[in-house]
Amino acid sequence: MSHFLEKIFVDTSAFYALIDRSDRHHHRASELWRALLDDNVTFITSNYVVWDTISLLQNRICFDAAAIWCQDILGIMDVFWVGADVHQKAYDLWKNLRQKNLSLIDCVNFITIHQNEIEKVFCFKLCYKDQGFDVLI
């Protein structure tokens, strides 16, 4: 009998909340993370999120926080590497939506989630819910 693993996309907001104990979502992120690990899901993120998370952790907390995240959390992620076609689609979406709180990285993630038929998103950003994604919060 084959066991289907649910695919969960993880955004920078969830990664950051997991690491920064002062983040207002830290407690919920930690609870969800433990539950998802117990459920043996497939975690997916984009290389844009990897870059964004490392930059935030290094700049807002310290280099060691970023390095620990790379060692302990990034290692269990399936990283979708964004090519020129996805980048262009995301850029076009970003340009068309013209929303102050919607980043190019968010748009890259929207395209990635759609293309990989990902069921749920682990994040703390309303823009994912606004785009119709099933958000774990």
Q: pLDDT confidence of 1, banded at 50, 70, 90?
A: very low
Q: pLDDT confidence of 112, banded at 50, 70, 90?
A: very high
Domain around 125: 7-81+117-136
Report yes or no on 28 lying in a domain. yes
Q: What is the DSSP letter of 81?
A: P
Report yes or no on 71 lying in a domain. yes
Report yes or no on 95 lying in a domain. no
User: For residue 2, what pLDDT is reported?
Assistant: 43
Report yes or no on 101 lying in a domain. no
Given the structure tokens 């020129």, which residue do they identify? 84
Nearest CA to 46 out of 79, 20, 2 is that of: 79
Report yes or no on 61 lying in a domain. yes
Q: What is the C-alpha separation between 108 and 96, in angstroms, rounded?
A: 14
Is the CB of residue 135 less than 8 Å from the CB of residue 120?
yes
Q: How far apart, in Å, are the Cα atoms of 77 and each of 23, 31, 52, 88, 124? A: 22, 18, 15, 24, 18
Q: What is the C-alpha separation between 121 and 41, in angstroms, rounded?
A: 12
Number of compact structural domains in the chain: 1
**Where residue 61 sits, what CATH number does that domain have?**
3.40.50.1010
Q: What is the C-alpha separation between 116 and 15, in angstroms, rounded?
A: 20
Q: pLDDT confidence of 3, banded at 50, 70, 90?
A: low
Report yes or no on 98 lying in a domain. no
Report yes or no on 102 lying in a domain. no
Report yes or no on 90 lying in a domain. no
**What's the whole-number mean pLDDT along residues 112-137?**
92
Report whether pLDDT(118) > 70: yes
pLDDT tens digits, one per residue of 23-71 = 999 999 999 999 999 888 999 999 999 999 999 999 999 999 999 999 9
The two three-digit tokens of residue 64, written as one number: 């060691």
